[in-house]
Every structure is written in structure tokens, then in C-alpha cells.
Structure 1
Amino acid sequence: MDAETPRDRQNLLGDCVHCGFCLPTCPTYVLWGEEMDSPRGRIHLMAQREEGAPLAPMVQHFDQCLGCMACVTACPSGVQYDRLIETTRAEVEDEHPRPLRERVLREAVFRLFPYRRRLRAVRGPLRLYQRSGLPALVRRSGVLERISPTLAAMERLAPPLGPAPRLPERVAARGGRRATVGMLTGCVQGEFFPGVNAATARVLALEGCDVVIPRDQGCCGALSLHSGRAEEAAAFARATIETFESVDVVVVNAAGCGSSMKEYADVLAGDPAWARRAAAVAAKTRDFAEFVDELGPRAERHPVPATVAYHDACHLSHAQRIRSQPRRLLAGIPELTVREIADPDVCCGSAGTYNLFQPEAAAQLGDRKAGTVRATGAELLVAANPGCSLQIATALRRQGTDIAVAHTAQVLDASLRGLGRAALL
């Protein structure tokens, strides 16, 4: 993240007029009604910090923020809360001494999830564990909860794992080529949801794109950036820029990753050797739905007779302001009925690593979101972020409901290939 002077920060803090428009959209304020767990309350704490107040008593309130950016969308004054919370979290990471147990757990998470090879190494044992019948016994015993709520959350959230096919480095366009695009496969998306990446590549190819899928690509830096690990995020950003700067467009199918890549210009603004390159890659990054909607339909849409509920991932709807595009893509599929979820602006509780480090609050938000999904009566939930899919599916199971979950790309893939609803349910 680019360095800020105290004057810059004071100006950003001063933009907040404490009107309260953000309150009904803030997940933690909705849960607890506590002023210090609202955006304007946290901004008040940041201002106190600027005046010399100690950091330690404030950390809990900053940690409990999901970083969902719903307040940014709701704010009539244009307060850049996204920038404020990211720089504040970087300050917390640099200056606040967390307890040893918490430091170990946090470091374990950040040493695992952004690294595809490490995720792949645990994938096989995790799959065996899921097929062994042990998960039900472990959850009934509560042993993981006693060891660590974070470990228990990781175990609950893990999706059912099947074979993980690997994509080729290039998928050729069907028919005349309309574009050549690079595709980010992601960390969690690539290892836990390989079917989403396969569907993304097929849809792009069927719509006339040559799809370049670099084999050596790594993490985009999203988890690190949103958790205040600024130098780590910058290192991931540089590597991703090198991987994709030779393509014309970078297509991303995970909302959090796309949001972070579009921030690269800010992440590396203070680095003269990388600032221009970062801005160039940020400018050509597109969310999957955004790009396919811009491209326009060419392949024939076949009927998918199903009722779906569409979930707005926070880093798609708030951070990237992408709402209408996925709905237009779904509306273009014959016989597909799309139902809206109540309170769409309130986060599901996933928020990157939030459901690992704040599992109790995340579970409350997950249950709230699952209830609104169930109320639609839909047979399929469509979401555009792997964290959201894991979070809501887990909450639905907790409520005794097993609604199928799919990505927008998978629904389009089923339509373009004429597979119908059977491929999704």
C-alpha cells in the first residue's frame, strides 16, 4: 500500500460527517448495535489514534470489521473507508503484539492459503479424511473447538473434495477468435473449486476467446492485502503483474481477487519501478461477468429450467460495483428464474479470513444470510466468490438445508453446452 502522510490520513478521516447512512449496511453494527463496531465508530477510533491514543484498546474493533465495503457504497460523502481500514490494519500488524497462540494461528493461515502447492499438499489428506466418516464424529465431540475455534472453522468450511483436473496452459477459441485473455485461477478457487475454473475457461472459449492460463501463476495477494500484510501483498502483486502483463485482458472469477488486482495501482504507487506496470495490469483486469457481459453473447444459450437465488459478493458489488452484469448473464438463459435475496448488502460473514479469525460473528452472519437464501425458495444459489460459497453452504447445512451452490460461470457453461439443470443440482 502506498505510504500516506499524516495530513492525507487526517483529510480522509475528516470526510466522515457521522451521518449514520452506513449503519444499516454494516454487518457488525447490524449484529450488535455497538457504535464502535460501525464504520463511523471505527473512524472515530482512527481519529483518536491520530491524536495519540493507544492502539491496543482499539484492535478488537478493527479486527471485527469484515472489510465488506458496504459502507463505501452507502456513504453519501464519499468516505474512503476501504483505504482507511486497510492502512489501519497494516498499522495493527506492524505495531500490535498479539498473543503467541493468535500469532501462530494467523501465521499458519497465511503460510497455507496463498500457496497453491501447499494447498495441494493438504488436499489429498483432507479428501481422505472427508471420505473416512470422521468429520461427523469430530464435530460431535467438539475437540477442534476446544483446541482452536479457527481450526474448527477451517474443518467445517472445507467443501466436499473430488478429483482436481488440471487445466491446459491454453484453451483455443471456438469459431472465430474475438479476444485473447489471461485467466487467474486463484488459490482457494483453483484447489477447492476446480470446476469453476474449468467452466470459466470453457465459457470464454465458447464465446470466442483464446484463454491463456499461465501454469506458474501464484496468489494475487488478496488475503494479505485485506489483512494488513502490506509488504506480503506487494510481493504477491509484483509476481502476478509479471505473469499477466503480456496479455490484453486478465479475467478473474473470484470477487476478492479481482478487487485486489484492480487496486494494484494503489498497492504499488510508492514503488517507482512498479507503479506504471501495476496501473497497467489493474486497468485491464476484469471480473468474469463484467468481461463476458462487455463481450456480448455469441454462443447459443440452451434452456436451464431452474430457480436460482443470486448472491452479491461484497468485493464484487461494493468494491468493484458490479451488480447488473451477472444478473444480465443469468437473465439471458432460457427458462432460468432468478430470485433476489433480501438484505443483499449485508455480508455473509466470509470476508477473506474473517470466518477463520472471527468464527462466532461469521457464523451469526452466515446463518442470517442462509435464512434469506432459504426464504427465496430457490433450488440453486449462485455466488461469484469461493469464500461466499463455502460460508453460505456451511450455514445452510447447519440449518438442515442442502441447496446446491454454483458460480455464474458454471450456470452459463451448463446452458452453452446444453446440459440443463442436471449439471448443477
Structure 2
Amino acid sequence: MDRPVSASVPIAFAGYLDGDAPAKDLIQACVHCGFCLPTCPTYAVLGVEMDSPRGRIRLMKNAWEGRISPAAPAFEEHVFGCLDCRACETACPSGVHFGKLVEAARSQVERSRPRPALERLVRWIAFDQILPHHRRLAAMTRLAALARSLGAAAVLRVLGRAVPLGRRLADMLELLPDRVSSQRPPAVTAATGVRRGRVALFEGCVMRSAFGATNAATARVLARNGFEVVVPEAQTCCGALHVHAGEREGGRDLAKRNIAALEGLEVDAIVVNAAGCGANLKEYGWLFKDDPAWAERAERFALKVKDATELLGDSGLAAAPGRIDATVAYDEPCHLLHGQGVSAQPKALLAAIPGLRVVPLKEADWCCGSAGIYNVTHPDLSRELLDRKMAHVAAAGADLLVTANPGCLMQLRAGARSAGLRTEVVHLVDLLDRAYAAGE
């Protein structure tokens, strides 16, 4: 059902509402060459120009020219239909920052028209009452994991034959990992051997609440390689899901809390092991570009952010991992490859593990369909992309499928279970930690 148009924003509204609008200079950088089209998953599946980066940029330009309102249903459909995977950025010869454009456009949609009361309630609960609160998110995750272990997903699928929401909830339960952990690393983990630096570990919200064991593994791996690791208590959710969903002010509020909590630390880097979080943290400067009070602080903060694989790959491993005899395929997280330009370093880390045989994975640079909360808001298209990915994983025949982002981990594990594959999906840092344990 279409959302009602706000009385204060007529359907013929020319242009946008505020400084969060898609930047004209970024729009004008697009020369409409079409190099992005073959790399865009939604265009590949749907075959619709308006569901390509070029088409969406045309829509944004039309809004500046008064040809369409950001309140128009068609504008919302195509802008929110984007995965925000940023594959188009890697392909673009003009260097168009499409992620910044589409996230800005979504913020204008949210400002232009009120969502129905139920949607507003769901968003308020998710974005304001759960994601920024670690204990609440951890409790909800444990409860959902328990429900899944008791067969709730099967029950919901039966109910879904009559009530579509049942199938949606079942799909969400299937995304949960088999084991959830909110284990936290020590406040300080001393460096082993020659000290090469001091870093702060950014725990994130989903990582801290469901993949705490991976955070602990990250601290151990960094320490083994000469980095003292501190884990600040005051940090919170990075705000990536808020920004992706057009909830820009909520994202800024969380960013301010993180900047205030971490900017005074005497560390060489702020290390993150979730690709989506890292891409957002590195763009805090852009998020505050029009705020004189925060712009410089945000930019300084962003320059310190490093993905764990980026730091380890650039620094080189100081400690040799133990042997793991297995075949492995690497699926590149979109916001690590396209959002941060980090690709060679994770592959170098895999190559450094004795016994591993890396096999090619077709379309390893394509989105798996997770894309933040895309698998919740657009389950059918997400599933189609996941099935495509699983066909390539099956063809690769690897023992291990490696990635480096929690959303990807959950999506790929659910896909492997559904496809009946025995391939284990593992975070790269967990694999490194496993290799170090094997060498002891």
C-alpha cells in the first residue's frame, strides 16, 4: 500500500527538503556510460533501467529538476529497491559515489512522507530501542535462537500459508547462527612479542550481540601479531543500518556517541571486523560534512578506522599461523570490497595459512542478498540472489566459504543449510584464530 503524502510536501514538490539531499556534484559526475549495468544485481535480475545505478541517478536528478517528488511512490520503490552494495562504484570510470547518493535519497523519502503507524512503530523499536542497546539486542538474539532451536521456524512456515507475516518471521529466524555469543574480549589484551602498535576494537551491535566469539578471536589474532588491543566500554552501534534505511539523524546521534567515546584514545587505529560497520565508520566525515561543530572531529575519527583484515594484511603477519588442510573459497563482502576498496589484504591472509587451497568462486564480488536489512525488507529478491550465490558455492566445491561481515555470514549460512551444502561458512578472523590454535 502506498504511503500517504505529507500535507506539507505536495506531490509536485520541486527538489529536496534539506542539505541531506543527494549532492548535485556527485550526480553530475555520472556520464551515463552504462559500465555499472552489468555489475548491478538488481538490474541483472529485474532488467529495469530505473533499477540500475544509472536509472536511479536519473531519478535523483529529476527530483532536483522538479520532475518528480521524493514523496512519489515510484521514487521510493526504486531508491529503496537498491541493495546499496556499491558494486557500481568499483565499475564506474567517473568515480561516482553512488552509496552516498542513494543513502541521501532515502533520507529525503523518509522526510517527505510519513510511514504507516505500524511501520513507524517497528522502526522505532528496531532503530531506537534495540540496535543501540547491547543488552536488549543480545537478549532478543538469544531468545530468537532458542525459538529457532525449538522448531519455531517450521511452525511459522505453516502459519505463513494463511498469514504472510509467518513466512517472513520464519525467514528471519533461519538467518540466526547456530550458536550465538555475546562474549566480550578483555578490556585490554596485551601484545605478544614485539609491540607493533595499540588499537581499539570496535565491537559493533550485531557482532557484540551474536558474534561475540569472533570479536574475542579478533583481539587474540591482533595480539598474536604484536598489537595491544583495548575494548572501550562506551562505544555503541555504528549507525550503518540507520543511514542505509534513511534514518540519518539516528545515525548521526550514534556517530556522535562513538566519536566522543573513542576520539580521545591514544591508539594507532580503530579496528572493526564487520565490513558494513567499517564502511560507515569511514564515512563519518561525510555524514557531518555540513556540521561545523562535528565535521573535523568526524573526519579525524574516520581516518583512524581500519578493517581487521586490512590492518593485518598491510602490516603483515608477525606470527606464522598453523596448518589447516582444506579447500576454501572467499566471498568478498560488498562493503569491504566496494565500500572500502579492501580486497588484496584478505586474500593475502588466506594465502599465509599453510595447507589452505584457495579455489575460485564465480561472482565472488556480487552481493549475497543480505545487504543490511534488505533480506528482511525485500525477501524475494534477496532469496533469488542468495540462490544464485549458492549455485556458485556448490560449483566451487570448497570445504570452507570465508567472508568478513556478520550479515553475509548469516545469509550465506542460511543459504548453505537450505541448499543442503556441507560447506562451512566462517569469518576470516575466526579462520586465522583457528590456524593459530592449530599451530600450538
Same fold (TM over 0.5): yes
Write out aligned runs for 1:268-287 (5 A): 268-287=288-307
1:10 counterpart = 2:24: yes
Query: Is residue 252 of structure 1 aligned with residue 249 of structure 2?
Result: no
Confirm or deny: 8 A CA contact 2:218 2:430 kept in the other structure. yes
CA deviations on 1:143-165 (whole Å, 9 max, x unpaired) are: 69623665343222122235543
Aligned twin of 2:339: 319
Q: Is the 8 A contact 2:184 2:215 kept in 1?
A: no
Q: 1:357 to 1:163 in 2, by over 3 A?
A: closer
Choose from 124, 141, 147 the match for 1:107.
Answer: 124
Residue in 2 aligned with 1:350? 370
Maintained 8 Å contact 1:182/1:211? yes
Question: Alpha-carbon deviation of 1:386?
Answer: 0.4
Structure 1 13/124 Cα, relative in aligned 2: closer, same or farther at 3 Å?
Answer: closer
Q: Deviations over 1:24-75 (max 9, x none)?
A: 1111001110111001111111111112223322111111101111111111
Match of 2:186 in 1: 168
Shift of 1:80: 2.2
Question: 2:418 is matched with which residue?
Answer: 398
- Which range moves more in the overlay, 119-128 or 321-330? 119-128
Match of 1:157 in 2: 175
Alignment of 1:26-425 (within 5 A): 26-52=40-66, 53-55=68-70, 56=72, 57-111=74-128, 112-142=130-160, 146-147=164-165, 150-162=168-180, 164-245=182-263, 246=265, 247-418=267-438
Q: What amino acid sits opposite 2:296 in the alignment?
A: R
What one-letter code is carried by the residue in structure 1 that aligns with 2:121? V
Shift of 1:4: 4.1
| Distance in 1 (alpha carbons) for counterparts of 2:261 and 2:439 | 34
What per-residue deviation string (whole Å, max 9, x for no partner) do you get for residues 182-205 of structure 1?
A: 001111111111221111011001
Judged with a 3 Å threshold, the aligned counterparts in structure 2 of structure 1 residues 302 and 233 are, in CA distance, closer, same or farther, namely: same
Structure 2 counterpart of 1:351, one-letter code: A
| Coordinate RMSD, CA, aligned | 2.0
* Matched-pair contact (CA < 8 Å) for 1:150–1:357: no
Q: Provide closer, same or farther for how the CA distance between residues 127 and 194 of structure 1 changes in structure 2, counting only shifts above 3 A.
A: same
Q: Which whole-Å CA distance do the structure 2 matches of 1:350 and 1:39 have between them? A: 18
**Matching residue's letter, 2:34:** G
* TM-score for both structures, normalised by structure 2: 0.90
8 Å contact 2:198–2:268 — kept in the other structure? yes
Distance in 2 of aligned mates of 1:244 and 1:5: 26
Question: For the structure 1 residues 390 and 163, does the alpha-carbon distance in structure 2 shift closer, same or farther, using more than 3 Å as the test?
Answer: closer
One-letter code aligned to 1:127:
A
Matched AA of 1:418: A
Measure the CA separation in 1 of the matches of 2:181 and 2:109.
Answer: 40
Q: Which residue of 2 aligns with 1:22?
A: 36
2:145 and 2:173 in contact (8 A); partners too: no
Q: For residue 198 of structure 2, give the secondary structure of its aligned residue in structure 1.
A: strand
Distance in 2 of aligned mates of 1:37 and 1:97: 24
Q: CA offsets per residue over residues 321-361 of structure 1, 9 Å max, x none?
A: 00100000110111101122112232111111111111111
Matches of 1:113 and 1:357 in 2, distance apart? 17
Q: 2: distance between equivalents of 1:172 and 1:105?
A: 42
- Note closer, same or farther for the CA distance 1:145–1:363 as it changes in structure 2 (3 Å cut): farther
Among all aligned residue pairs of Structure 1 and Structure 2, give the percentage whose two residues are the same amino acid: 44
- Give the CA deviation at 1:177: 1.7
Deviation at 1:381, TM superposition (A): 0.8
What is the match of residue 5 of structure 2? none
Structure 1 stretch displaced more, 79-88 or 200-209: 79-88
- Letter matched to residue 36 of structure 1: M
Alignment partners' CA distance in 2, 1:24 and 1:298 = 40
| Alignment check: 8 A CA contact 1:114 1:223 kept | no
The Cα offsets for residues 232-264 of structure 1, whole Å up to 9 and x where unpaired, read as 111111111122211221010000000011101
Task: Give the deviation of 1:419 after TM superposition.
Answer: 6.0
Answer yes or no: is the 8 Å Cα contact 1:218–1:240 preserved in 2.
yes
Q: Which amino acid aligns with 1:297?
A: L
Question: Which residue type is aligned with residue 276 of structure 2?
Answer: G
Higher mean Cα deviation, 13-22 or 152-161? Answer: 152-161
